Structure 1
Amino acid sequence: MQLVVSQLLPAYFDESVTQVSEIWGKEWAVEKNDLIKIVAPSGSGKSSLINFLYGLRTDYTGMISYSGKDLSHFSPEQLAGYRKDHISIVFQDMRLFADETAALNLEIKRQLNPYHPPEKIKEMAERLGIDSRLSFKCSTCSYGEQQRIAIIRSLLQPFDILLLDEPFSHLDNNNSEKAMQLILEETRARNASIIYADLERSEIFPYTRIYHL
């Protein structure tokens, strides 16, 4: 699946930002197996970009197209189907069901489109060091634990593009490296692509292209 972004600009941004940004107001594309790093200083619209690409917000000018189809023309049913089959995401604010257990948060996601068997949840949790927390409500987990739950959740479905919005902001270097390795393994197994947006250049993400927002 190809993603093409053309002349995209948040409706609340002045057009002058296009003179310094390598993303806003430009044309760029994501092909199979691309690893895209977007360096995005605070206030540059990083989360807005991720939300635009995921179809959560439409307050922009320009066009986002998946496989030649304009995202703004998707019906709610088409958008839900694309998210289920083609686009996965790790939100900056995780967006877990706080009053449900980590295990249930993950199983709900897995059942929407069972790419992995149920036992894969425990295997991934063990690799990221949170298997002992699966039976706990997410509200009782630390931010670092919640972030690892959100990362695992994103890897339980099929996807062609994985969107990452500051996925390691609450993790130390060791846990970040473990999570990055798991993400890369799962992405390569699908011949998929990653768009990874963060405040600074990451040394653990082996990007094929880098842009400054």
Structure 2
Amino acid sequence: MPLSHLKSEEEVDSFLKDCKQLTLLYLFAPWAAECQQITEVFQTLAEDCENRSVNAEEVQDFCKKNEVSSVPVVLFFKDGESVARVQGAKAADLTKTVASLRDKHDDQESLNARLKALINKAPIMLFMKGTPEEARCGFSRRMLEILHKHNVKFDSFNVLSDETVREGLKIYSDWPTYPQLYANGELIGGVDIVTQLAESNELLSALGLQ
């Protein structure tokens, strides 16, 4: 399959902005013999990833911003941010880097699937430090008090028992602290928001219980 080619600074910026998954950008120059050597390798390796090629001479501002001073070079992006690069006609390095980053990408997708399953394990799910029988922080204890007071039936997960879940869920839900309360797969919030909902008599409604 021929490479898809970008032709301007604007096209490069738009492409990278829209790509959330692992993305490869191959910068070349038509006159460079090394580029001819690496093009076929890149084309094969990049089949399973979002990828584009671009003539470096057509995007000089982009090259300056990303410290590209010679070609060929393959830049690796994730969520619009540069995560790696392979400079020169180094087929072995390119192969290793693609494989490594693809494995990390697959691991993240696997973690996201696990987090989604945990969040949907019960209609009301509480991710807390400790257990309902033994809360390990004041905020988790306060959350339990509120839920018990309102007779809310829930399941829980002790984030102290699994660092991968503890750190991964912060990113997955874009919420940096614990406890976290979910209803029907949706994040309700932490203890401050739940306290406010309880004080305004809106908690049961927010949880879909009323």
Indicate the structure with greater helix content. Answer: 2
TM-score interval, smaller chain = under 0.3
Q: Higher RCO, 1 or 2 (CA under 8 Å, sep at least 6)?
A: 1
* Superposition TM-score, scaled by structure 1 size: 0.23
* Superposition TM-score, scaled by structure 2 size: 0.23
